[in-house]
Structure 1
Amino acid sequence: MSDHEQQQPAPRRGKVLEALARAERKVFTRPAPKSANAQVKFLLTRAKGSTKALAERLGVSRRTVERYRAGKLTKPQNRLQAALVEETESEWQPQVRAQARAQASTSRGMMVEVTAYFGFTCTGSSDDGRERQITTDISPTYVKQILELQEAGATEEDLHPIVAEAITESYFTEWGTRADGLRADFTSVSSISLRF
């Protein structure tokens, strides 16, 4: 069996986690490396030259990493290509990402655009749940909680309640000025986009 055939499938992230990753990519001031060779070389610098560490991270053999570094292999299969892109972008421009995250969690907040099924819990409410498309700001307090959960390795299920609470506060209760006691849960997320 070749190294390519032994590759494990890439783990899938949920829609909220993927939206956070896309939001971070949008703050890059320079494009990340595109070719497999350049991505491997960049990731090796981040792994302090350890082909073993990078191979484990990518789910391939050391020999495969060495071949890409040397330019003997140039066109990775889809799973490896996705892993290279994800790992490169997760390591690319850490200071730029950190600055955007810090500003969002202390002063600016974030913009969320979501299409999902929203259900409500409120005394005397006759508004049944339904799919809605909502665009609203999330306060820095919630952004901080969301980013801390993401850094702690939270799952999609861990993030849904806090995102729903943030949307409830800014969109449905308008920062506590109406619909006191309303709680919105969202499920069946069709799409979500976040912007720092």
Structure 2
Amino acid sequence: MAESIGDSLDQALESAFTRRPPQSAQAQMRFLVKQLKGTKATAQLLGISQRTVERYVKGQLKRPRQDLRDRLNREVRKRWQPQVRARAKQKAATTDGLVVSTRARFGFTAAPGTTDDARVRDITQALPPEFAARLFTARDQGATEQQLQRIAAEGLAQMYFRANNTRAHGLGVEFTDIQHVDIEL
């Protein structure tokens, strides 16, 4: 489970993959070289020398250091199956929506005298496609984690606390101290 909404969105999209990404360092390096159209661009992306990239591609080097392995995994996953990822985003943003499971502190603001002290709650709630679209669009445009949290809080406030705006009109919801968040498509 992720501790940030951005990471959880990435994991949700990865769940739509139809094939596993390359696992070995050699296969990952070959994939990146092909995607970036050369060893020089791959080396710059990973922060290593062009010669090191060539050695991994040839199989002369096999076990990267932990930091390089992490960067390699992250960059391959980011580029793996872009059409599958785009279809999953489109489906969530137009028809299916997404499901947010979280354990976080929720507090409320409403009319004077009707406030509720913040407390930790476990919530699993389906959000409609409009919130999926807003979250993915914000993520793609480089939104901060706080901006993503605000969008998720608006969705949870509308669907969970205000029952799709059929009750508790004007209730403001604060979404803080996230212990975990898991988003599914």
Q: Same fold (TM over 0.5)?
A: yes
1:85-124 alignment runs, 5 A limit:
85-123=73-111, 124=113
Q: Provide the residue aligned with 1:7 in structure 2.
A: none
Unpaired runs of 5+ residues, structure 2, are: none
Q: Provide the residue aligned with 1:135 in structure 2.
A: 124
1:176 is the counterpart of 2:159: no
Residues in 1 aligned to 2:9 and 2:46: alpha-carbon distance in whole angstroms: 21
1:1-196 alignment runs, 5 A limit:
15-48=4-37, 50-123=38-111, 124-196=113-185
Query: What RMSD in Å do the two structures reach over aligned CA positions?
Result: 1.3
Residues in 2 aligned to 1:63 and 1:20: alpha-carbon distance in whole angstroms: 35
Query: Per-residue deviation at 1:14?
Result: 6.5
Q: Number of residues paired by the alignment? A: 183
Q: Secondary structure at the match of 1:128?
A: strand
Residues in 2 aligned to 1:148 and 1:138: alpha-carbon distance in whole angstroms: 15
Structure 1: 4+ residue segments shifted above 3 A? none
Greater relative CO, 1 or 2 (CA 8 Å, sep 6+): 2
Q: Secondary structure at the match of 2:106?
A: strand
Q: Secondary structure at the match of 2:20?
A: coil
Percent of residue pairs identical: 40
Unpaired runs of 5+ residues, structure 1, are: 1-12
The answer (yes or no) to whether the contact 1:14–1:156 under 8 Å persists in 2 is no
Residues in 1 aligned to 2:142 and 2:43: alpha-carbon distance in whole angstroms: 21
Query: Per-residue deviation at 1:125?
Result: 2.2
TM (normalized to structure 2)?
0.94
